[in-house]
């Protein structure tokens, strides 16, 4: 009935054009059925349904066509009631509302133009332009044809003056991009890349066989525009960000990846055209936009923090470690010069800068407060952490008592001085310990968590007020006081 629908325009959304088309359709139905009741019923449920009901009941009396849908059988009485009331509203207790007539005038746009520019030229808002032209599907007028734009009455002179004074490159911006078909591409992959439908892509390029593309073929891609007038192409990201490619590893989730790069899972879905609930798989490449100044932010994040060395254990990910220490994953990668494609491995040492919630001094106690002196001979397989755990002290204390540097190692037969009963020996919540929150994961046990964090299981139970009857569950947060160093 003369209504156009393409990438730019859907005239079914224009009330005036849609009303004229509906009236023509209703008139054609009346010519087919020769009765207004049957024509209205066909308008509601379709002429085929009405013809089947007539053949089934052997009558053309609308009131006898009981096989019609209930909505259609009620549609005619509603229509008749509305017509009767509208003929004399006051007699039925209705008041005719006072409305302002919708007046407008036309201006002809020769080429495709951005609606934001048109609205600014007319001195009205973008919302007003869209309300006057509801048939426009995009934030621009159609290409390759002139368009009659509706603007509020009295704005024509102002529009023509402002619009014609603009440079041509600002008035008529291209609403399409050119794409050269590469090996392995199809209309489906190209449509996903540029966020357009296959139907629109085929229509713009006049493609009859959608399954046949040739390598090197040039396609015209109609591209959406945002309200600000920028092209929404898949390879454009937010300003101040740089694009990286991340290869999905086994066990990855969008939540973990988003946490690693200090972004949101829904943004990763949008950048990669993933639907909610759509799974990712190992080897898949994801596009992620990260802030360009993230490295500088990471270096500044060392202020007012304590240095902790974390030894990677089997099953660890940067996201899990960041969650345990309450730091950003991108900071961990920056502190340890880890690139996006690099993986961590069991036994690897990661430097972390963790906030210290205690304001007391970190100085080691003097000899008067050290308590009883013990000399310990290092055995094969010993580590300073294990020795500190055995004597209920900290690694930092042992290094200080034996004048050891942070990078120093111990060897079998070496003698270490340890002070038992020192005021600094307690593993309670003091200045030599840092409080972290560990989120329980599936398959975790208290003993496994205690072993990974080099603390006693009884201590974890005490810190979190757990007893032997309590069970831990995935998602539960446990407070753990770990030793620095």
199 within domain boundaries: yes
* Cβ neighbours for 477, distance < 8 A, ≥ 6 positions apart: 437, 438, 439, 440
Could you tell me if residue 317 is inside a domain?
no
Q: Indicate if 155 and 218 belong to the same structural domain.
A: no
What is the pLDDT, as a whole number, of residue 23? 93
Give the phi and the psi of residue 310 in degrees, each rounded to 5: -105, 130
User: 394 and 457 share a domain?
Assistant: no
In a domain, residue 198? The reply is yes
Residue 355 lies in a domain: no
Tell me the whole-structure pTM to 2 decimals.
0.41
Say if residues 38 and 47 touch (Cβ distance below 8 Å): no
> Could you tell me the two tokens for 271?
């950048």
Check residue 171 and give its pLDDT.
Answer: 67
CA nearest to 344, candidates 313, 305, 307, 304: 313
Q: Indicate whether 63 pLDDT > 50.
A: yes
Give residue 76's pLDDT band: very low, low, confident or very high (50, 70, 90). very high
Q: Which of 76, 204, 65, 233 is nearest to 144 (CA)?
A: 204
Answer yes or no: do 84 and 30 share one domain: yes
Weakest mean pLDDT among 39-48, 63-72, 443-452 = 443-452
Residue 358 within any structural domain of the chain: no
- What is the distance in angstroms between the CA of the first residue and the CA of the last residue of the chain? 79
Looking at the structure, do residues 74 and 56 belong to the same domain, yes or no? yes
Are 164 and 181 in the same domain? no
Is position 273 within any domain?
no
Which residue among 420, 446, 463 closes a domain?
A: 420
363 band by pLDDT with thresholds 50, 70 and 90: very low
CA dist 114 and 227 (Å) reads 9
Q: How confident is the model at residue 239 (pLDDT cuts 50, 70, 90)?
A: low
**Considering its fold, how many domains does the chain have in total?**
5
Q: Is residue 425 part of a domain?
A: no
Please say whether the beta carbons of 404 and 473 come within 8 A: no
Say if residue 440 is in the same domain as residue 472: yes
Q: What is the mean pLDDT of the chain?
A: 79
**% the chain with pLDDT above 70:** 82
CB atoms within 10 A of CB 458: 11
Which CATH number characterizes residue 397's domain? 3.10.350.10
One domain, residues 436 and 410: no
Q: Do both 62 and 32 map to the same domain?
A: yes
Quick: pLDDT tens for 27-56: 999 999 999 999 999 999 999 999 999 999
Tell whether the model's pLDDT for residue 25 goes beyond 80. yes
Q: Which domain holds residue 460?
A: 432-485
Q: Answer with the one of 91, 123, 154 that is the final residue of a domain.
A: 91
204, 179 contact by CB (below 8 A):
no
Instruction: Tell me whether residue 305 is in a domain.
Output: no
Which of 222, 237, 254 corresponds to the end of one domain?
222
pLDDT at 225 over 60: no
């Amino acid at each position: 009935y003369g209504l156009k629908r393409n990438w730019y325009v859907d005239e079914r959304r224009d009330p005036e054009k849609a009303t004229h088309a509906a009236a023509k359709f209703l008139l054609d139905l009346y010519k087919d059925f020769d009765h207004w009741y049957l024509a209205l019923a066909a308008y509601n449920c379709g002429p085929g349904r009405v013809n089947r009901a007539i053949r089934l009941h052997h009558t053309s009396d609308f009131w006898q066509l009981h096989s019609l849908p209930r909505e259609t059988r009620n549609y005619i009485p509603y229509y008749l009631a509305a017509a009767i009331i509208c003929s004399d509203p006051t007699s039925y207790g209705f008041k005719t509302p006072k409305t302002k007539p919708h007046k407008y005038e036309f201006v002809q746009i020769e080429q495709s133009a951005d609606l934001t520019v048109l609205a600014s030229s007319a001195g009205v808002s973008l919302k007003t332009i869209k309300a006057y032209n509801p048939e426009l599907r995009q934030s621009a007028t159609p290409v390759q044809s002139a368009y009659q734009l509706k603007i509020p009455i009295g704005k024509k002179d102002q529009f023509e003056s402002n619009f014609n004074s603009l440079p041509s490159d600002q008035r008529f911006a291209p609403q399409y991009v050119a794409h050269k078909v590469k090996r392995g591409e199809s209309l489906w992959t190209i449509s996903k890349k540029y966020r357009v439908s296959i139907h629109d892509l085929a229509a713009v390029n006049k493609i009859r066989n959608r399954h046949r593309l040739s390598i090197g073929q040039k396609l015209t891609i109609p591209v959406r525009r945002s309200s600000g007038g920028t092209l929404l192409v898949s390879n454009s990201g937010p300003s101040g960000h740089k694009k990286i490619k991340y290869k999905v590893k086994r066990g990855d989730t969008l939540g973990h990846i988003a946490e690693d790069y200090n972004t949101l899972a829904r943004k990763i879905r949008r950048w990669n055209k993933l639907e909610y609930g759509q799974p990712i798989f190992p080897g898949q490449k994801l596009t992620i936009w990260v802030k360009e100044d993230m490295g500088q932010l990471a270096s500044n994040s060392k202020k007012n923090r304590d240095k902790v060395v974390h030894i990677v254990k089997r099953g660890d990910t940067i996201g899990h470690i960041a969650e345990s220490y309450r730091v950003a994953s991108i900071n961990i990668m920056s502190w340890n010069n880890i690139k996006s494609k690099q993986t961590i491995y069991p036994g690897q040492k990661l430097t972390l800068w963790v906030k210290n919630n205690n304001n007391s001094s970190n100085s080691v106690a003097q000899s008067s407060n050290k308590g009883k002196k013990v000399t310990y001979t290092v055995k094969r397989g010993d580590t300073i952490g294990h020795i500190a755990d055995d004597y209920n002290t900290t690694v930092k204390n042992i290094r200080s008592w034996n004048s050891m540097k942070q990078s120093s190692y111990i060897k079998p037969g070496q003698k270490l001085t340890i002070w038992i009963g020192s005021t600094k020996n307690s593993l309670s919540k003091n200045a030599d310990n840092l409080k972290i929150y560990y989120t329980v994961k599936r398959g975790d046990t208290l003993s496994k968590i205690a072993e990974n964090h080099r603390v006693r299981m009884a201590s974890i139970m005490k810190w979190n007020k757990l007893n032997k009857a309590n069970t831990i569950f995935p998602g539960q947060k446990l407070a753990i006081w770990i030793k620095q160093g």
